[in-house]
Amino acid sequence: MARGATSSVRGDDQEVVRRQRSPRGQGSRLRLELIDAATRLLEVSGDARVLTLASVAREVGIATPSIYRHFSDLGSLVEAVVSDSFQRLDDALVAAMELAKGPPGRLRACCTAYCGFALENPGQYHVLFNAYLGLDPDRPGERPGERVFDRLVGAVAACTEAGVGRQEAPHLMAVHVWVALHGIVSLMTSRPNHAWPPLDELIEATLTGQVGLHGR
């Protein structure tokens, strides 16, 4: 029986030592490893409600109770994962926009990066934007992902200010773009067998139809 042993063997023949203990001052290393492991598991399941402390511990290679040193419960671990994921999504949008030129180019880059993140990390994206995050809907200011939406508003507004595209309320046009992008990535993920047009055509149709952008 491998239980209680200090090492185990994985199917791929790689010996996995039961995770080396962090050196003295660096107990918070495990914290980061826990977030990483939970992120990987959520990427597979796409829902925080099926995540268990036991599975996270297994993924990291520690005993389940060790998690309590770093997180008071599963909820706060998930919270950490979610805020981390939102940050990486936002970073991806900012990085993509920095590389692009001109307001329409930056809006296009923003949309492409948004879809890219969602399609490369469908599970994480689903955790971030599905309805069952376990948020308190009554808590005021409880609007996770609002910063991401604001990037979109900013990118649309820059077009409007530059006289490119339709001269309508940027906030409203951004809503139209957001729902379209969300619909694109959600359905492409959940219906992979559907006959989808190429992603950039879907994005372009959205920008044309909702912001009045034309051509690339």
User: Which residues bind to DNA, rule: CB under 7 A?
Assistant: 3-4, 18-19, 21-30, 52-55, 62-66, 68-69, 73-74
CB of 203 to a second copy, least distance (A): 11
Which of the stretches 32-40, 72-80, 150-158, 170-178 binds a second copy when contact is defined by CB under 8 A?
Answer: 170-178
Q: What are residue 144's phi and psi, to 5 degrees?
A: -60, 140
3-class secondary-structure state, position 9: strand
HEC-encoded secondary structure of 149-189 = HHHHHHHHHHHHHCCCCCCCCHHHHHHHHHHHHHHHHHHHH
Collapse the DSSP code of 8 into the 3-class scheme (helix H, G, I; strand E, B; otherwise coil) and give the result: strand
Cβ–Cβ under 8 Å, residues 42 and 49: no
CB of 21 to DNA, least distance (A): 4
Nearest distance from C-beta of residue 144 to DNA, angstroms: 22
How far apart CA 193 and CA 175 sit, in angstroms, is 28
Binding mask 49-88 for a second copy (x = CB under 8 A): xx--------------------------------------
Taking the least distance from each CB to a second copy, the nearer of 102 and 209 is 209
Contacts of 86 (CB under 8 A, 6+ apart): 128, 144, 145, 147, 148
Task: Please give the residues from 96 up to 135 whose contact with a second copy meets the rule CB under 8 A.
Answer: 122, 126, 129-133
Residues lying near a second copy in the complex (CB under 8 A) are found at 45-47, 49-50, 122, 126, 129-133, 137, 142-143, 145-146, 149, 172, 175-176, 178-184, 186-187, 189-194, 196-197, 202, 205-206, 208-210
